[in-house]
């Protein structure tokens, strides 16, 4: 019979002497053990970061590099330097959304197919779900939040998309906008076909493709 407790059940555990001990005590013991493991791991990780940054115990000793990669990175995001603790295999989309709080970048397929997570890296539209954060050190990252003007006004592409009723559910809209901005910054006067190709990597489940293309063409000369 399984020891997994069911709803409303209060199973008892017995020691070798046949004396029962409540489930609460069992759980308390396990909780204390897990908390001890987490505390130990945190202490080791923190010590690695501290002593790694100080270069070790002496000037001649090499810096400590825990896990083979530097965890605490400086990222240039929307023109600001942001310090963030990044795991070795962490994607840029995860860092942007859950470490930096820039949730305008959406996670859709999480495998480089839908384009919802599109951002600009050195001006190039990039699927952030398929790029490791460790690989963008020293590069310029722009998210949808970085398009807002200093006076709070929308970017011309954002306004054009609204005017042309591009957003439907709006989930793919940030990625569509970033691809459109990249196009107009490199080709200020694209044809409709060129705009269609530039946005071809961004899927719209609502099927508002013509509205988005109309938005790109409406933004020509305004960027």
Between 11-25, 70-84, 131-145, the lowest mean confidence (pLDDT) is in 11-25
> Of 191, 174, 184, whose CA–CA distance to 222 is shortest?
184
List Cα–Cα distances, 126 to 119, 129, 146, 151, in angstroms: 5, 9, 15, 27
Q: What's the CA gap between 122 and 137, in Å, rounded?
A: 11
As a whole number, mean pLDDT of residues 54-79 equals 66
How sure is the predictor about 13, in pLDDT bands with cuts at 50, 70 and 90? very low
> What is the CATH architecture of 76-219?
Roll (3.10)
For 101-114, the pLDDT digits (tens) are: 999 999 999 999 99
**Which band of pLDDT confidence, cut at 50, 70 and 90, is reported for residue 183?**
very high
| High-pLDDT (> 90) share of the chain, % | 66
Per-domain boundaries in the chain: 76-219
- Per the model's pLDDT, the better-predicted residue between 27 and 87 turns out to be 87
Give the pLDDT mean for 151-171.
96
| Residue 129 backbone phi and psi in degrees, to 5 | -75, -15
Burial classification of residue 17, based on how many CB atoms lie within 10 Å of its CB (0-12 exposed, 13-18 middle, 19 or more buried): exposed
d(CA 85, CA 163): 40
């Amino acid at each position: 019979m399984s020891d997994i407790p069911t709803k409303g059940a209060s199973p008892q555990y017995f020691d070798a002497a046949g004396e029962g001990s409540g489930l609460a005590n069992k759980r308390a013991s396990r909780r204390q053990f897990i908390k001890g493991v987490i505390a130990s791991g945190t202490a080791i990780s923190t010590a690695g970061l501290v002593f790694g940054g100080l270069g070790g115990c002496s000037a001649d000793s090499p810096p400590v590099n825990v896990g083979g990669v530097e965890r605490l990175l400086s990222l240039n995001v929307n023109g600001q330097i942001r310090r963030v603790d990044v795991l070795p295999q962490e994607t840029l989309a995860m860092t942007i959304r859950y470490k930096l709080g820039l949730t305008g970048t959406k996670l859709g397929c999480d495998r480089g197919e839908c384009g919802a997570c599109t951002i600009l890296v050195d001006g190039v539209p990039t699927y952030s779900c398929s790029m490791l954060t460790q690989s963008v050190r020293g590069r310029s990252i722009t998210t949808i939040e970085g398009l807002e003007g200093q006076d709070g006004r929308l970017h011309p592409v954002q306004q054009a998309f609204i005017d042309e009723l591009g957003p439907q559910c709006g989930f793919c809209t940030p990625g569509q906008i970033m691809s459109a901005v990249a196009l107009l910054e490199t080709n200020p006067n694209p044809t409709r076909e060129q705009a269609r190709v530039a946005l071809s990597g961004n899927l719209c489940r609502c099927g508002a493709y013509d509205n988005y293309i109309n938005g790109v063409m409406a933004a020509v000369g305004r960027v």
